[in-house]
Amino acid sequence: MVKLIAGNWKMHGTAADLPEVRAIAARASQLAGQVEVALCVPATLIHRAAEAVPGFTIGAQDIHHRPKGAHTGDVCAAMLHDAGASMAIVGHSERREAHSEADADVKAKAEAGLAAGLKIILCVGESLDVREGGEAVATVAAQVDASLPAGPVDPALFSLAYEPIWAIGTGKVAGPAEIGEMHAAIRERLVAAYGEPGGQVRILYGGSVKADNAAAIFAVPDVGGALVGGASLSAADFLPIVEAAL
């Protein structure tokens, strides 16, 4: 499976930023088959972005787990799909923290997205306290076990992102040994949950991935790509990361 490089625009981006989407999509289409590229933009931009770059993967950053109902301000998977999204992130640590999303919520969101035909990137990761307490692997493994959608899963449609919270937006990057150890532990849980297809699910790394550290991160065994925040906002910053995955 080729590497997946997905941008998470978080709460950034309006119509004025569509030229960046176009520039990223144009290079991605030249690299089709060698690397998979996606941009997860704010919900308000999904429709315009998807119309601007047909065939390129535009994603959402969250999903409400129910198909419809009295959920003011929320957006369900079918609505995201209808707007033009073909992917969604679920369980990002910023949502787990700010919106008190528990593993069971994340699991339900992943299942709702997959049922609606969206590709899913499910995020897990430990806090600095947990890492310093020596509990990082056990904590993330438990998060994985409790957050995974019920199988079977298609590895082309479902990915996991290991994002140490202390590395997100901080400029600190987990070292190769930390990433390798965690990805191996996550792989074990994926195989336990899904059998052989669990061996094919891509495990992305996320946390301050930039042009100057991407190649070293991609060289770590079982890194299947990256989830990129700040450095995905412009083609100039993001495309060198994409190229490093070739």
Per annotation, catalytic residue among 20, 36, 101, 163 = 163
Spell out the residues 6+ positions from residue 208 whose beta carbon is closer than 8 angstroms to its own.
Answer: 167, 168, 169, 170, 171, 172, 173, 230
Cβ closest to ligand PEP, residue 95 vs residue 189: 95
The 3-state DSSP composition of the chain as helix, strand, coil percent (nearest 5) reads 45, 15, 40
- Indicate which residue of 92, 94, 178, 183 is catalytic: 92
CB 80 → ligand PEP: shortest distance, Å? 18
The conformation of residue 117, written as its DSSP 8-state character, comes to: T
Nearer to ligand PEP, 101 or 194 (CB): 101
Q: In which residue are the tokens 């190769």 written?
A: 176
CA separation for the pair 44, 13 (Å, rounded): 9
Give the shortest CB-209-to-ligand PEP separation in angstroms: 5
Q: Which is nearer to ligand PEP, 158 or 194 (CB)?
A: 158
The least distance separating ligand PEP from the CB of residue 230, rounded to whole angstroms, comes to 4
Nearby residues of 122 by Cβ (< 8 Å), 6 or more positions away: 89, 90, 91, 106, 110, 147, 148, 149, 158, 159, 160, 161
Taking CB atoms, the residue at the shortest distance from ligand PEP is: 229
**Which positions lie near ligand PEP, rule CB under 6 A?**
8, 10, 163, 168-169, 206-209, 227-231
Pairing of strands 36-40, 87-90: unpaired
**Where is 236: in which H helix or E strand?**
helix 235-244
- Residue 81 catalytic? no
Q: Which is nearer to ligand PEP, 13 or 207 (CB)?
A: 207
The answer to whether 126 is a known catalytic residue is no
CB of 13 to ligand PEP, least distance (A): 13
Looking at the Cβ atoms of 139 and 197, the one nearer to ligand PEP is 139
Residue 133 CA, distance from chain mean position: 26
Q: Could you tell me the two tokens for 38?
A: 């996606």
Burial class (CB in 10 A: 0-12, 13-18, 19+), 63: buried
Please state the closest distance from residue 234 (CB atom) to ligand PEP, in A: 13
- Tell me which residues are annotated as active site: 92, 163
